[in-house]
Homo-oligomer: A and B are copies of this chain.
Amino acid sequence: MAVQAKPDRIRLGMVGGGRDAFIGGVHRIASRIDDHYQLVAGAFSSTIEKSKLSGLDLGIDEDRSYGSFKEMAIREARLKNGIEAVSIVTPNHLHFSVAKEFLKRGIHVICDKPLTSTASDAKKFVNLVNDSDALFMLTHNYTAYPMIRQAREMVAAGKLGDMRVVQVEYAQDWLSTELEATDQKQASWRVDPERSGAGGCIGDIGTHAFNLAGFVTGLKAESLCADLHTFVEGRQLDDNVHIMLRYEGGAKGMLWSSQVAPGNENGLRLRVYGSQGGISWAQEEPNKLWYSPLGEPTQLMTRAGPGATDAANDVSRIPAGHPEGYLEGFATLYKETAEAIYAARDGKSIDTLCPGIKEGAEGIAFISAAVSSNKKNGNWIKLG
List residues of A whose CB falls within 8 A of some B CB: 3-9, 22, 25-26, 28-29, 32-35, 56-59, 160, 164-165, 167, 169, 172-174, 176-177, 225, 227, 229, 231, 240, 242, 244, 246, 250, 252-254, 256, 258, 260-267, 271, 273-280, 283-287, 290-302, 305-307, 317-328, 377-380
Contact = CB atoms under 8 A, between A and B. Distances in A.
Contacts of A225: 225, 227, 244, 378
16 contacts: A22-B319, A32-B35, A164-B240, A173-B292, A177-B294, A225-B225, A240-B252, A254-B254, A261-B271, A263-B273, A265-B321, A291-B297, A297-B299, A297-B305, A297-B306, A298-B300
B293 A262 contact: yes
Identical copies of this chain, number: 4
A307 B296 contact: yes
A35 B26 contact: no
Given A173-B278, A246-B227, A264-B278, A28 B32 contact: no
B378 A165 contact: no
B22 A33 contact: no
B317 A327 contact: yes
Nearest to A255: B254
Q: Which of A164, A260, A263, A293 has the most CB of B within 10 A?
A: A263
A296 B176 CA distance: 13
B321 A323 contact: no
A225 to B, nearest CB: 5
A324 B26 CA distance: 12
A170 to B, nearest CB: 10
B301 A297 contact: yes
Contact of A321 (B33, B240, B267, B287): B267
A262 B244 contact: no
A32 B5 CA distance: 13
Contacts of A380: 377-378
B244 A263 contact: no
Contacts of A285: 285, 323
A224 to B, nearest CB: 10
A222 to B, nearest CB: 12
Nearest to A28: B35
A10 to B, nearest CB: 12
Nearest to A304: B265
B280 A263 contact: yes
A320 B273 contact: no
Given A5-B57, A242-B244, A252 B265 contact: no
A243 to B, nearest CB: 8
A1 to B, nearest CB: 9
Contact of A165 (B26, B261, B283): B261
Nearest to A172: B321
Contacts of A286: 323
A244 B260 contact: no
Contacts of A318: 26, 326-327
A271 B260 CA distance: 13
Contacts of A242: 244, 252-254
A290 B167 CA distance: 22
Nearest to A60: B7
B323 A322 contact: no
Contacts of A254: 242, 254, 256
